[in-house]
Amino acid sequence: MTVYLDHAATTPILPEAAAAMTARLGSVGNPNSLHASGRAARRVVEESRESVARALGCRPGEVVFTSGGTEADNLALKGLFWARRAEDPRRTRIISTTVEHHAVLDPLQWLEEQDGADVVLVPVDRLGRLDLEAFRAAVEADPESVALVSVMWANNEVGTVQPVAEVVAIAHAHGIPVHSDAVQAVGQVPVDFAGSGLDAMTLTGHKIGGPYGVGALLLRREVQLTALLHGGGQERDVRSGTIDAPAIAGFAAACELSVKHQPELASRLSALRDELVREVQEVVPDAAYNGDPVSDVHHRLPGNAHLTFPGCEGDSLLMLLDARGIECSTGSACNAGVPQPSHVLLAMGRDDEVARASLRFTLGHTSQESDVRALVEAIGPVVERARAAGLTGKSRA
């Protein structure tokens, strides 16, 4: 039996979302066609748009459907940068953080290398939380030159929740729009788009119990955005492409249910996560808990447990656990098959060795106490074996 502890990567689809999606798969009709079948497909899309808007505290017209989080991040970052710079050529700076997902960091690097952007990555503290004073200083150094700000709602590796409200207040004092990648936050912590004051926000289906390949950018109606894709202009003229009605129906069902059940899920997962950390540290006393240790949803994602096991290689631990049917993640990037230390842990002040010795265990709606039991039973022998392998490797070297 497989023990799945990698919900931050993808969480299993909810039965209701699967049913909503499959109910549409046999139906013909392009949502942009004017005949009856097209109108029926359009009705599914618009009802789904209203459902997402209700769940996340925005207007239906502010929901721009995309192929997922990566596209939504690219659309927000490039689209805002181009639109703002077109209004005022001085606006070349983009302010973000050192711990963003690569769906944000890589487009920022592209804009810097290919399009003259000046990217400022603000540091975080040892818990992975944005240094607000450093952020304020970056903004106030030359606010007229800032095109946009992008700060994730919660970190995908260590689970630390970022001070989004404070970021918005600082940026908006200078008329600077703010985007947030909320892919990990929706369904885990309370998320209200209007209440947050954000100008743009990213979410995706497969992190909340929906299908792969569908997500959304929530974009305030007042915000101007330059399109990435050109064609039919199906989504507010900022996102072209035939609309995937079945996937959108499944996404909307997952969004509605994940937000509705968020309080009870967060309470259950927080308790389960705390049990996991406590019992793993009883078996491996020197295992270090990374991220904010405060358990409430204003500080840390309830389903996230990120641990460092000194003297081990994270990839070795992952494979040893996988051989026992326990699936988790190192949370580190992999470039051309060569494991890299986590950029998040490095940004938090950890050294390369620590950054390579960590595992991310993430819980979700299917997680049970039996999953924790299985991990606790396995982790001692696995760590022992990984440490022995590490010592053997060093002696041979």
Q: Output the six-digit token pair for 356.
A: 């390579």
Q: Output the six-digit token pair for 374.
A: 């299985």
Strands (DSSP E) contained in the chain are: 3-4, 63-66, 93-97, 118-122, 146-150, 178-181, 200-204, 215-219, 288-290, 304-308, 326-327, 334-335, 338-339, 358-362
Residue from 58, 255, 312, 334 carrying the catalytic annotation? 334
State how far the Cα of 268 lies from the Cα of 35, in Å rounded to an integer.
47
Q: Is 312 a catalytic residue?
A: no
State how far the Cα of 33 lies from the Cα of 35, in Å rounded to an integer.
6
3-state secondary structure of 251: helix
Give residue 156's Cα distance to chain centre. 5
**What is the length of the chain?**
397
Find the Cα–Cα–Cα–Cα dihedral 178, 343, 318, 361, rounded to 10°. Answer: -40
Q: Find out whether 154 and 299 touch, Cβ atoms under 8 Å.
A: no
State how far the Cα of 209 lies from the Cα of 261, in Å rounded to an integer.
12
**Close Cβ partners of 278 (under 8 Å, ≥ 6 residues apart):** none
Number of other CB atoms surrounding residue 232 within 10 Å: 14
Q: Output the six-digit token pair for 125.
A: 């503290």
Helix crossing, 36-56 with 245-260: angle to 10°? 20
Is residue 134 within a helix (H) or strand (E), and if so which, with residue range?
Answer: helix 132-141
CA dist list (Å): 241 to 31, 227, 234: 11, 12, 6
**Close Cβ partners of 2 (under 8 Å, ≥ 6 residues apart):** 325, 326, 327
Q: Which residues are catalytic?
A: 334
